[in-house]
Amino acid sequence: MDMDLLLARNALLALGIRGADGEEILPRRAEEMAGRGLPEQGNAEPDYVGVLGYAALPVSEKIGTFSAFGSIPWQLPFHEKDGEEWRIAGTMPHKTPVLVVAQALQPARDQRWRGYLQVIRLDRSEAVWMNVNQFVTVPYWTFAPEEAVRYGNCIAVYRNLSRFEPVDLEAHRGAMPDGLRVLMCDRRDSRYNSPDHLFNPLMGVVFFGGEETGHFLFFNPLDLTIVY
């Protein structure tokens, strides 16, 4: 039994929430949808209403800000509308299960859709608005590292099982202590291509000197276990 589906149905009944035209909202899984405001076929607006998903840390260039190894869970803002403006009304943990019940999206120049989703937080049956860029349809942190990083950031623990030591951007190889935490993030930029695609294809960031000093390294997938 899908417990989140059950929670979603109960929350809809308890809160008395229905669709924009008064129709019943039927919770569903839609893992084929990309999430984060990516368009449907023909650049059409994605229809998230009724979709079960998760609040997830947005992919960000500010990697140091989100490493936060000492203060897990990552916290994401939720919003409320104040006139024509949106303001932060609180936070919720990364990985919070949610059900989308309404959306206010606009097309952007990068062919994504931007805006906000009204969701029910299934951890507390509360309706809030969240940025669509923080919405994913799959629990990607349960996937293998090489797949998970395509969906968003995650934290992995390093243990050298492959016997291939990590390399840096200049192809320098070095030993790492087992148990080190690594911030996994996808940087789709040729500057961050691995110099050792065969044995160390996955990029991660380690923080030897504190969270503001990240070092890009490349790892063997066998050596990484996602813990968050």
Each domain of the chain, given as residue ranges in start order, spans: 3-138, 141-226
- Rounded mean pLDDT, 26-34: 94
- Rounded mean pLDDT, 12-24: 91
Annotate 182-196 with b (16+ C-beta within 10 A) or e (fewer). bbbbeeeeeeeebeb
Lowest mean pLDDT among 43-52, 99-108, 113-122, 168-177: 168-177
Confidence check: pLDDT of 17 > 90: yes
Residues 96, 78: contact at Cβ < 8 Å? no
Residues 111, 119: contact at Cβ < 8 Å? no
Instruction: State both tokens at 189.
Output: 């930029």
